């Protein structure tokens, strides 16, 4: 997918297309092509993370006036975590735009979910710099915040590790355990793949930038596989 097609698909308008292109450049691509003259997306991601949190917080504060701070924090966490952002970015064809090293792109040329989540934050940062807060808020509202009702209705904001432990003990009499299956990448950008087990049975796997994040993603995968989401 070329840049103009991506902008049309996402109903985006940019004055400076180079900002948008930068949002899709992973550090691994720069490491592999140091003379490309391009810059990776981590600074945009840093900015976008803050802008995204403000937009989500403002929306939740307005939309749920009778919900307490703890509930709103849980809703926000479920909205802006790597799993949700990765799913949203995947549906919006971010994969077609990513510039990755050959190693990162080895999985049938598809970026891992955490990379897509970072790219979504980077795009938010790029859009904020190029178009300002209101345009960024509009994009986040129609691509991400539309998921809020489902998250609240199905209880997807609940702590996944606690919930899967509660259900597995109730139904199977076992306490889930977690095991790091692999670690990839340099120390500053390491990805952990973690498995969740019921006894000796591997139920699901999750990836994250820390072991804790990998465990949380794995717990969510287990909840989905067992059909416990929303129960």
What digits encode the pLDDT tens for the residues 113-162? 888 999 999 999 999 999 999 999 999 999 999 999 999 988 888 888 99
The answer to whether 121 is a known catalytic residue is yes
User: How high is the pLDDT of residue 230?
Assistant: 65
- pLDDT, one tens digit per residue, over 186-208 is 777 788 999 999 999 999 998 88
d(CA 116, CA 89): 6
For residue 108, is pLDDT > 50? no
Q: Which of 2-16, 45-59, 98-112, 165-179 has the lowest mean pLDDT?
A: 98-112
d(CA 173, CA 188): 39
Q: Is 226 exposed, middle or buried (0-12, 13-18, 19+ CB in 10 A)?
A: middle
Annotate 57-84 with three-state secondary structure.
HHHHHHHCCCCCHHHHHHHHHHHHCHHH
Give the pLDDT band (50/70/90) at residue 105. Answer: low
Select which of 42, 49, 118, 130 is catalytic: 49
- Please tell me the CATH code under which domain 3-153 is placed: 1.10.1520.10
Give the mean pLDDT of 97-103. 86
Give the mean pLDDT of 163-183. 94
Domain 160-226 CATH (choose: 3.30.160.20, 3.40.50.1580, 3.40.640.10, 3.30.470.160): 3.30.160.20
User: How high is the pLDDT of residue 106?
Assistant: 60
User: How high is the pLDDT of residue 107?
Assistant: 55
Residue boundaries of the structural domains of the chain: 3-153, 160-226
Select which of 42, 121, 130, 215 is catalytic: 121
User: How high is the pLDDT of residue 208?
Assistant: 84
């Amino acid at each position: 997918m070329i840049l103009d097609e991506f902008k049309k698909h996402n109903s985006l308008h940019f004055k400076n297309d180079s900002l948008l292109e930068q949002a899709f450049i992973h550090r691994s691509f720069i490491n592999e092509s140091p003379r490309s003259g391009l810059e990776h997306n981590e600074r945009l991601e840093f900015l976008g993370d803050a802008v995204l949190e403000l937009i989500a917080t403002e929306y939740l504060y307005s939309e749920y006036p009778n919900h307490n701070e703890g509930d709103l924090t849980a809703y926000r966490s479920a909205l802006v975590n790597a799993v949700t952002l990765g799913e949203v970015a995947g549906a919006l064809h971010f994969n077609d735009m990513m510039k990755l090293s050959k190693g990162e792109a080895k999985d049938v040329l598809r970026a891992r979910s955490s990379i897509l989540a970072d790219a979504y934050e980077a795009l938010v940062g790029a859009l904020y710099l190029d178009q300002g807060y209101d345009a960024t808020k509009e994009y986040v509202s129609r691509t991400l915040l539309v998921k809020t009702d489902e998250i609240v209705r199905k209880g997807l904001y609940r702590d996944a590790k606690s919930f899967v432990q509660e259900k597995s003990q109730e139904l199977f009499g076992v306490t889930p355990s977690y095991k790091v299956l692999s670690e990839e990448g340099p120390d500053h950008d390491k990805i952990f793949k973690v498995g969740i087990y019921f006894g000796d049975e591997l139920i699901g796997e999750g990836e994250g930038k820390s072991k804790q994040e990998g465990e949380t993603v794995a717990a969510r995968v287990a909840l989905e596989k067992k059909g416990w989401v929303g129960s």
